[in-house]
Amino acid sequence: MDSCRLEVRNISKSFPGVRALDNVSLKVRKGSVLVLCGENGAGKSTLMKIIDGVYQPDEGEIFVEGKKVHIRNPIQARALGISMIFQELNYIPEMTVEESLFCGRWPMKQGSVDWKAIRAHTLELLEQENLPYSPTMKMKDLSVSDIQMLEILKAISIDAGIIIMDEPTSAISEREVARLFDKIEDLKARGKSIIYISHKMEEIFRIADDISVLRDGKVIDTRPRDAFTIDEVISLMVGRKLENNFPKRQVSVGEVALAVKGLSSEKAFKNIDFFVRKGEIVGFAGLMGSGRTEIMRAIFGLDPYTSGEIAILGKKVSIHDPRDAIKYGIAMLSEDRRRFGIIPVRNIRENVGLANLRLFFYGGYLHSAVENDTINQICSRMAVKAPSLSTTVEELSGGNQQKVVLGKWVLCKSQVLILDEPTRGIDVGAKYEIYKLMGDLAAEGKALVMVSSELPELIGMCDRIYVICKGEIAGELQREEFSQEKIMRLATGYEKMTGVRQ
């Protein structure tokens, strides 16, 4: 199937102070996957939002099935057979699963919403995809990976000819990734066209038929997958060679900053013992649903725990909510930064200063000059790329959003930083910058806890790794013991089942 289903010609788009797209042209063949690569801010999501009708191009043309079209909004895009799964999860927490799946396209019967048809179709879709959710379950009660799978299901259920997937595997497990890739192969066999945005090289070379690389709003190169190497793709994305993907610094460790003993929750985890010292980066590995995030949420006061102790610098503390955690010098980057880390419609200044208003309010007044100077220094140190502090955070790339969240906690002078999936949804160049910032913070004597589903980054950045399996610590590995195989044996419970440690 070589015929072209979608073509964009000479698309350009500018925002205040930013040339987001510059004369971009692409083709997507029927029954194929075009993977779009590029650093955050390269223009990938902007281009996809133009195809989806969210943005209007300043210049250029779009053709669907050879016919020129003007896509004025997402409703028109759906009518043209275009469906999009966004990188940042878009859902209404109070909606049920069935309401979310059919939002904006309610089937009607005699002038009313046909809830019976919605229930039947929802049950059919959930059974078809083997998803164990109730149609009446509320979205707020689902995990990030659950919501991501439902977003994928919603896009597929529309039966679109062109499906855009923006980082669809950023929050789902390996088993769910395998299921998604099987679904993509099925869609290809049915003649569907997929535009797939990803920063994960193993995914790109597993799923792509063609690869296009964007940099600074321009298409740098497009080739069949087999005509690229991984090193070539990375070099084209960042415009330079990254000599060391994980810039781990050798840092002298100090006293124990955080110690956790016997921490248990009724359902999520039990008997968690670990510590992290000043200057250390300690990793937490485990499969999705193993309890890693739940442990960190309990330490930060987001969720209650039933028993156990938390000590900061040798002193036992009582943490009931995040205000207590912040008071004791603990900070946390959530795995879902849009839901828990940022206020998207507020600007950079407001987001960075949110947890630090006491620094700028005194004498009954907000001292704006002090606020601006202080936050400018933090943003400069975090290398946040934006036209100004007045830029809303939703306008920033994923990597820059993460730097804003990190800057907020650095400004708090937090001594213990819990980083839950700190590089999720950001490109290799931005990841490198986050890793460097982590190394700088460790060198200053901060204690870092890094939760990650990406084993290479845990191995590359951590001094020690705890592996969680079914809510318990399955093992602790020193740096000289690190290997993906050892971590996975512990994470899957293999060593516990067999009694063999290799």
Which DSSP string corresponds to 310-345?
EEETTEEE--SSHHHHHHTTEEEE-S-HHHHT--TT
For residue 472, give the 3-state DSSP assignment: strand
Per CATH, the number for 256-498 is 3.40.50.300
Per CATH, the number for 4-238 is 3.40.50.300
pLDDT in tens, 292-325: 999 999 999 999 999 999 999 999 999 999 999 9
- Res 240: pLDDT: 59
How many of the other CB atoms lie within 10 Å of CB of 409? 24
Nearest 10 degrees: Cα torsion 470, 474, 478, 480: -90
Residue ranges per domain, the chain? 4-238, 256-498
Q: Calculate what percentage of the chain has a pLDDT beyond 90.
A: 42
Nearest 10 degrees: Cα torsion 293, 335, 175, 489: -50
pLDDT in tens, 437-491: 899 899 999 999 999 988 888 999 999 999 999 899 999 999 999 988 888 889 8
Smallest CA-to-CA distance from 432 within 459, 460, 462, 409 is with 460
Which has more pLDDT, 199 or 136? 136
Cα 459 from Cα 482, distance rounded (Å): 6
Task: Give the pLDDT band (50/70/90) at residue 339.
Answer: confident
**DSSP element (H, E) containing 405:** helix 398-411
Structure tokens at 325: 């955690």
Contacts of 120 (CB under 8 A, 6+ apart): none
Q: Sort residue 329 into left (φ over 0), alpha (ψ -120 to 50) or beta.
A: left
For residue 151, give the 3-state DSSP assignment: helix
Q: Residues 379, 365: contact at Cβ < 8 Å?
A: no
Q: Residues 139, 147: contact at Cβ < 8 Å?
A: yes
Cα 72 from Cα 23, distance rounded (Å): 20
One-letter amino acid of 451: V
- The separation between CA 1 and the C-alpha centre of its own chain, rounded to angstroms, equals 33
pTM assigned to the model: 0.62
Hey, which residues does 113 pair with through a beta bridge? 108
Intrachain domains 4-238 and 256-498 with the same fold? yes
